[in-house]
Chain A
Amino acid sequence: MSAGSVRPGRYGRMMTSVLRGTLRLDVLVNRVYPTDFNPLYYTGGLSNLFLLTLVLTGIFLFFYYVPSLGGAYESVEYVTRTVPYGDIIRGVHRYAADGFVVAVLLHLFRNWFTDRYLFSRDNPWISGMILLLFAGFIGVTGYQLVWDDRAVAVTTMLMAMLQSIPAVGPVLVRLFLGGAGVSDATLVRVLMLHIFPASALYLLLWWHYIRLRHPKIWPPAVWVLFCLGLVFLLAGVIPAISTTAATPATQPAAMPLDVFFLWPFALLNILPPGGVVIVLVVSFALGLAIPYVSRREAPVEMGVRHAGVAQVIDGNCTGCELCYFDCPYNAIVMVPSPAPGLSKAAQNRTLLAVVIESRCVECGICIGACPFEALELPKFLERDIRAQVTDALRAEAVPT
């Protein structure tokens, strides 16, 4: 049976060629690294590695930071100049943040282009988009905490963007600043807005992992060493430094912006603040919509690949739990069996397997695990597979 008589539309074909390009990258990397060391298969774990680095170095920096207009800059300079290895820890914090964004974007694009958001995998996708949003926000507040020229410029631009939001704009600005203008209260709030979302990331990660069995949350040792080494090396070679201290008379001027976190502010060069807000909101909304509109092929175009949700054949199930252990998406649960089964082996069962349909991705791994023919995929019935095998063994070989 050929793969569907309906041809995918232009969008579907474009996404298919993007998929092929993504996997071509794998081929290149697999020439150097064994497949279970390929970093592209561990983009989530790499992100987690950078996050942990950020948290640990952040705790170190937090011990020295003073959240007041007069004391912030001095305290950061103290850590950088006086504390042994303080400059390195600060640099690691900064470069791990960039590394985090790189890893997260690799993770996003790879999982998008290889269709890993279908069925119940929209849970990791949506939680991942929110994680991305939080991460961006944490990065911006991080640059503000230093309270140098750049921080003042970022704050001014951020306030302009918040102000442009209709109805709630001025309220948000007052909430953020802790009053009518910038004061000590502002930095306390910015510190809270830096640390609290960072802690909330771990809560969101619980949601991010919940639909997956054995999520790969840590990369192989080779990559742990390499990424940690890279951020330390960068921290030593290109030290992270503040620009000049902010004074009440500081006027924000042109300055280089960190492309990973501060790109929305670079957009302010070509768009008004309201325009940048719209760009951000629309991009985020499009990102959230991906699991629901981005399929390369509609189910009818998928032909044989749309297998149907796995069905338990109640009479045969013995409660052996093999399907429960093998399902990669926790879509099978064992319940106390309400009645004995029909087949001999199922007579004495105490447990019964139940498929949670909203979690099933129609992969069929449970069918492969079950020794008792108690599971079926509706479009890939056992008898059809056996018939195909019989036909294959009977057919004449096509001359090569």
Chain B
Amino acid sequence: MRTVYGLGILFLCVLALVFAAGIVFGEATNRWLFGGALVGGLLIAYSFVLLLMRKLGLIGPRKAER
């Protein structure tokens, strides 16, 4: 299961890089809606990276809940 989580993190990071490139592209060609949608996709990918890292035990509960 841990390898699945690890692969998931890897996949999401690659996806995030692709999204970031797309954002720059959107910025350069004045396609603001396209760039904005990719910003959204990037943030969602980051949220799942954090979830998977939590399931791997790499990060713990935030201070208020420790």
Contacts and interface: CB of A to CB of B under 8 A. Distances in A.
B46 A225 contact: yes
B47 A88 contact: no
A218 B64 CA distance: 11
A230 B44 CA distance: 7
A28 to B, nearest CB: 16
Contacts of B36: 85, 87-88, 91-92, 232, 235-236
A36 interface: yes
Interface in A204-250: 214, 216, 220-226, 228-237, 239
Contacts, number: 84
A241 B56 CA distance: 42
Nearest to B51: A222
B32 A88 contact: yes
A236 B46 contact: no
A380 interface: no
B32 A233 contact: no
B24 interface: no
Contact of A232 (B40, B55, B62): B40
A17 B40 CA distance: 38
B44 A34 contact: no
Given A221-B50, A236-B33, A239-B33, A226 B38 contact: no
Nearest to B66: A36
B41 interface: yes
Contact of B40 (A36, A214, A233): A233
Given A34-B54, A37-B54, A235-B40, A225 B33 contact: no
A234 B40 contact: yes
B33 A230 contact: no
B9 interface: no
A232 B65 CA distance: 29
Interface string B25-43: 0000010111111111111
A78 interface: no
A33 B51 CA distance: 7
B44 A87 contact: no
Nearest to B31: A236
A36 B41 contact: no
Nearest to A225: B47
A239 B40 CA distance: 13
Interface residues of A, number: 31
Contacts of A84: 30, 32
Interface string A87-106: 11001100000000000000
A222 B50 contact: yes
Given A235-B37, A236-B38, A225 B54 contact: no
Contacts of A232: 36-37, 39-40, 43
Given A225-B47, A226-B43, A229-B46, A87 B32 contact: yes
A86 interface: yes
A230 B40 CA distance: 6
Contact of B62 (A33, A36, A234): A36
Nearest to B65: A36
A87 B61 CA distance: 36
A236 B34 contact: yes
Contacts of B54: 34, 37, 222
Nearest to B62: A220
Contact of B32 (A34, A86, A216, A234): A86
A29 B37 CA distance: 27
Nearest to A233: B40
A209 to B, nearest CB: 15
A319 to B, nearest CB: 27
A164 B58 CA distance: 61
Interface of A: 33-34, 36-37, 84-88, 91-92, 214, 216, 220-226, 228-237, 239
20 contacts: A33-B51, A85-B32, A88-B39, A92-B36, A221-B50, A221-B62, A223-B47, A225-B43, A225-B44, A225-B50, A226-B43, A229-B42, A229-B45, A229-B47, A230-B40, A230-B44, A236-B34, A236-B36, A236-B40, A239-B33
The 4 A-B pairs at the shortest CB distance, nearest first, are namely A236-B37, A229-B43, A233-B40, A232-B40
Given A37-B51, A85-B32, A232-B37, 7 more contacts: A220-B62, A226-B47, A229-B45, A229-B46, A230-B40, A235-B36, A235-B40
